[in-house]
Amino acid sequence: MTLPATPSFRLDGRTALVAGASSGIGAAAAVALAEAGAEVWLAARRAAELEALAAALAAAGHKAHALPLDIADIKATEAALASLPPFGILVNSAGLARHSAALDTTPEDFDAAAGLNFRAAYFLTRAVAGRLIAAGKPGSLINITSQMAHVGGIDRAVYAATKHAVEGMTKSMAIEWGRHGIRVNTIAPTFIRTALTTETFANPERARWIEDKIKLGRIGEVTDIMGPVVFLASDAAALITGTSLIVDGGWTAD
């Protein structure tokens, strides 16, 4: 009897671009990809943090490069990618939140959130895919969305709308680029403990709401996202495209 072989989770020989890599989920994703063998390019606006992460990864024996970049600047992003080899892996964790009641949303807050969370994500994903198609290479493109891309939330009308939009673009891009061997997916985390969520957890009412909704009874950590990133980037997920891997502790189960 010939036993089937489990596809490899290793990423040796592959190059990865991680946007939003200066902290939080993005930094953890970069570490996970590097540990799995990928050569990782770290993109974000904060150059000092990128250099520190790249140095730490290099000290651990991994290949990593800092790429100071604001992905909301579409032309600059496309120019930067044009000067580099095609990336077989993309993880886009860049994003922001301007939470408010829907009646209090300002056009400025709407534009800021939509500009980075959706517009920049759209054109970054397109730019990476375009380079792969031109080179005749396959790839795995991952955008970090949120459980709010599947439900709604208090004071989160704009944020949820931008994340729902990324889910929609993911399905359409997956349909268009599947014939090129390019997979497009999202990872949708619950509330993850990072510097950006400190204010939310400091609000007792919001903290109780979160604790009640997460069925596993704990707040998410960045380490909870590292495995899903490697999985979707690897051959273990070779037939997965156009979908969302929801890492929410059961939030969206009801």
Assigned superfamily of 15-199:
NAD(P)-binding Rossmann-like Domain (3.40.50.720)
Side-chain-facing half-sphere of 17: CA atoms under 13 Å: 30
What does the pLDDT read at residue 115? 97
Domains in the chain: boundaries = 15-199
Catalytic residue annotation: 159
Asked if residue 93 lies in contact with residue 19, where contact means CB atoms within 8 angstroms, the answer is yes
What does the pLDDT read at residue 187? 98
What does the pLDDT read at residue 7? 97
β-bridge mates for residue 121, sequence order: none
Q: Which residues of the chain have pLDDT under 50?
A: none
Q: What is the spatial distance between Cα 36 and Cα 177, in angstroms, rounded to a whole number? A: 25
Single-letter residue type at 29: A
Place of tokens 């931008």: 162
Global pTM? 0.95
